Homo-oligomer: A and B are copies of this chain.
């Protein structure tokens, strides 16, 4: 596998600084945050390390040169919006920008971009399905035509009242993945699998690898801790942030040895991108960098 990180946590670094930092600290790759240039609407979003809006072959060459110089590959382009937003304009921006990432990934020759399916969070999965069937087949076809793979992250995007009750991304469980892959069998659609989202959903984040291993195109390494004393107060019908805490790898409930044990057995050999969303490690740039370095050190026990 190739160990790296998602660049969204260091918005204060330029692309070159990101790659240089990664190379100096021994990472093999970075997933580049590619939000549209502008203001972030939520934490960990709105970062632009690569502006794909008007990305050209020349831009691609320059970026690839930087990669060669620093010895760091781009594991994928990342942009996590809500393409099924009930706000039609927001959805349209998301869809259009996803295409830009696909184009850029193709130009860069890395053929991997990561995103969300999206969801109208006030509607049930079934109620969202028609819209899914409208939006996603053409998007996947667009990617397939350019030989790019889409990695859908399995985050429910449900944290607080703002996303109650369904969250902003349909693709959060194996049952839904199965339905999704049956509707769109193209190999251009796969997963950017993050085991931490299964922790608070109380699902087995290891056994699932056996069935979906071939569809896992990218991995996020984040951890999460169930806070039992908080859960005992509110139960699972409460907002997820009321009973769990995102943490750095090694500081949560995931048994990473068990995770990589089966991940290696199902033949995964792709990128593992550390995603820092641990509030105890936010703040100054040095602290966030230290968080990435510590996470890398932890994961190197299991990843070569």
**A positions within 8 Å CB-CB of B:** 124, 126, 156, 158, 161, 164-167, 172-175, 198, 200-204, 207-208, 225, 228-229, 231-238, 245, 247, 250-252, 257-258, 260-261, 264-265, 267, 278-281, 290-291, 293-294, 297-298, 300-304
**What are the residues of chain B within 8 A of A238 when measuring CB–CB?**
173, 175
A197 to chain B, nearest CB (A): 9
**What are the residues of chain B within 8 A of A233 when measuring CB–CB?**
173-175, 203
Rounded to whole angstroms, the CA-CA distance of A201 and B165 in the bound complex is 16
B204 near A232: Cβ-Cβ < 8 Å: yes
B265 near A291: Cβ-Cβ < 8 Å: no
**What are the residues of chain B within 8 A of A250 when measuring CB–CB?**
257, 301-302
A56 to chain B, nearest CB (A): 36
B207 near A229: Cβ-Cβ < 8 Å: yes
**What are the residues of chain B within 8 A of A264 when measuring CB–CB?**
247, 251, 278, 280-281
A-B contact pairs, 20 of them (CB 8 A): A124-B165, A164-B165, A165-B165, A172-B237, A173-B238, A174-B232, A175-B238, A201-B236, A202-B235, A203-B235, A207-B232, A247-B261, A251-B261, A252-B261, A281-B304, A290-B304, A291-B304, A293-B304, A297-B301, A298-B302
A294 near B301: Cβ-Cβ < 8 Å: yes
A204 to chain B, nearest CB (A): 5
**What are the residues of chain B within 8 A of A174 when measuring CB–CB?**
232-234
Nearest CB in chain B to that of A251: its residue = B261
**What are the residues of chain B within 8 A of A303 when measuring CB–CB?**
294
Nearest CB in chain B to that of A208: its residue = B232
B298 near A294: Cβ-Cβ < 8 Å: no
